[in-house]
Structures are given as structure tokens and as C-alpha cells.
Amino acid sequence: MKLVFSLVAFAALLFIVGGVGTIAAFITHSDVTRVWFMWIFLAGLLPTMVVLAISLGIGLYHLILYRLAGRTPSGWLASERKEPE
């Protein structure tokens, strides 16, 4: 969980630095600096995609537990039998 929160914070930092830097470079008409800050902004997509992939994996794990194995996740890698409907 700490890894996910760290990646989200890192992505937010990259988006903020890249976005503010890009706007500042537009205002000062500095094209080389603007391109660097735009790359920093786009680099924020990498940790965002990693977090989304981790979330997809966790979602698939819960789906498999619930639908196929007949269990509900109650904690990290622990499960209990789901109630019959």
C-alpha cells in the first residue's frame, strides 16, 4: 500500500512541476525549457499507469475470489466463504 501511495505522490509531483514549469516557460517564451517541462509532465503518466495496473490486478484477484472460488476477500491474501444466496 505504501508503494501505491508513493507512486501516486510521485506522479502528482511530476504533474505539478511539469505543469507549472510548462506554463511558466510559455509565459517567458523559452521553448527549450518548455519542452523539458512538458517531458516532465508526460513522465507523470508512467507512475500513474503503474498504479492503474496494480489496481487492475487487485480487482481481478477479488473478482476471481468472489466469482470463481466462491470466497470474499477479508484481508490481505485472506478470504472467507461467501454466504449462499
Query: Would you state the pLDDT for residue 72?
Result: 64
pLDDT in tens, 24-60: 999 999 999 999 999 999 999 999 999 999 999 988 8
Average pLDDT score over the chain: 84
CB 50 within 8 A of CB 10: no
- For the chain, the structural domain boundaries read 2-81
How is residue 20 written as a grid cell?
Answer: 507549472
CA torsion angle for 4, 65, 79, 54 (degrees, to 10)? -10
Q: How far is it, in rounded angstroms, from Cα 54 to Cα 60?
A: 10
Of the pLDDT bands very low, low, confident and very high (cuts 50, 70, 90), residue 78 is: low
Q: Mean pLDDT, to the nearest integer, of 10-17?
A: 94
Nine-digit cell string for 18: 511539469
Q: Residue 10's CB: how many other CB atoms inside 10 A?
A: 17
